[in-house]
Amino acid sequence: MSSYISAENINLTFRPKNREAVTALSEFNIDIEQGQFVSIVGPSGCGKSTFLNVLLGLIPPNTGVMSVNGRTVTGPGTDRAMVFQEFGLLPWRTVAHNVELGLELQGVAKGPRRETCQGFIKMVGLTGFENHYPHELSGGMKQRVGLARALASDPDVLLMDEPFAALDAQTRDIMQAELLRIWHEAKKTVLFVTHQIEEAVYLSDHVIVMTKRPGRTKKLVPIDLPRPRDYEMRVSPRFNELKLEIWNELKDELSVGGDEDSGHA
> What CATH number is attached to the domain comprising 24?
3.40.50.300
User: pLDDT by residue (tens digit) across 134-171?
Assistant: 999 998 899 899 889 988 888 999 999 998 888 888 88
Average pLDDT estimate for 43-60: 93
Sorted by sequence, the CB contacts under 8 Å of residue 236 that are 6+ apart come out as 225
Cβ burial of 98 (10 Å; 0-12, 13-18, 19+) is buried
Asked if residue 208 belongs to a domain, the reply is yes
Asked if residue 260 belongs to a domain, the reply is no
Q: What is the DSSP string of 139-155?
A: HHHHHHHHHHHHHHT--
Higher pLDDT, 105 or 11: 11
Q: Where are the alpha helices (DSSP H) in 106-257?
A: 110-123, 139-152, 169-186, 197-203, 237-250
Asked if residue 207 belongs to a domain, the reply is yes
User: pLDDT by residue (tens digit) across 129-144?
Assistant: 999 999 999 988 998 9
Asked if residue 172 belongs to a domain, the reply is no
Q: Which domain holds residue 204?
A: 1-79+188-255
- Cβ-contact 53, 221 below 8 angstroms: no
Helix axes 110-123, 139-152, angle to 10 degrees: 130
Asked if residue 51 belongs to a domain, the reply is yes
pTM listed for this prediction: 0.88
Per-residue confidence at 257, pLDDT binned at 50, 70, 90? very low
Residue % of the chain over a pLDDT of 70: 95
Helix, strand or coil for residue 94?
Answer: coil
Asked if residue 261 belongs to a domain, the reply is no
Q: Is the peptide bond before 214 cis (omega within 30 degrees of 0)?
A: yes
Asked if residue 73 belongs to a domain, the reply is yes
Asked if residue 3 belongs to a domain, the reply is yes
Number of structural domains the chain divides into: 1
Tell me which of 41-45, 92-96, 133-137, 254-258 is least confident: 254-258
Q: Is the pLDDT of residue 259 over 50?
A: no
